[in-house]
Amino acid sequence: MNLTEFTQTLTNTQPPFGLHPVAEALWYDAKGNWEQAHNIAQSKEGTRDYDRLHAYLHRKEGDEWNAGYWYRRAGATVFAGSLDDEWNALIQNFLAK
């Protein structure tokens, strides 16, 4: 699935079957369901991909301190671009997995 196909699914009530769980979380985030996305991030804390998702979600929430914690846990630098740019970078990465 490519980014265009993925964004077209945002009109659906459920995420597409077979997505990487982080891509599924980003689908929920794009639909405005931060809590469901956060639940997925928490489901595998200590796993780099999930910790990276967790960082983005707390940055989006406006909790810079907590986001910084999760970026460090993921071994990633704090994303310097916009939230939209970060979402796009993440989804493109996880659609490829």
In a domain, 79, yes or no: yes
In a domain, 13, yes or no: no
In a domain, 30, yes or no: no
In a domain, 5, yes or no: no
User: Based on the structure, what is the number of domains in the chain?
Assistant: 1
Residue 79 and residue 61 in contact, taking contact as beta carbons nearer than 8 Å: no
Per-position pLDDT tens, the chain of length 97:
999 999 999 999 999 999 999 999 999 999 999 999 999 999 999 999 999 999 999 999 999 999 999 999 999 999 999 999 999 999 999 998 7
Residue range of the domain that includes 53: 46-88
In a domain, 63, yes or no: yes
How far, in Å, are 5, 54, 90, 91 from residue 42 at the CA level? 27, 7, 17, 18
Distance of CA 10 to the CA centre of its chain: 14
**Cα–Cα distance, 50 to 15 (Å, whole number):** 18
In a domain, 16, yes or no: no
Look-up of token digits 């891509």: 23
In a domain, 52, yes or no: yes
In a domain, 22, yes or no: no
The 10 Å Cβ neighbour count of residue 77 is: 8
Give this prediction's pTM: 0.95
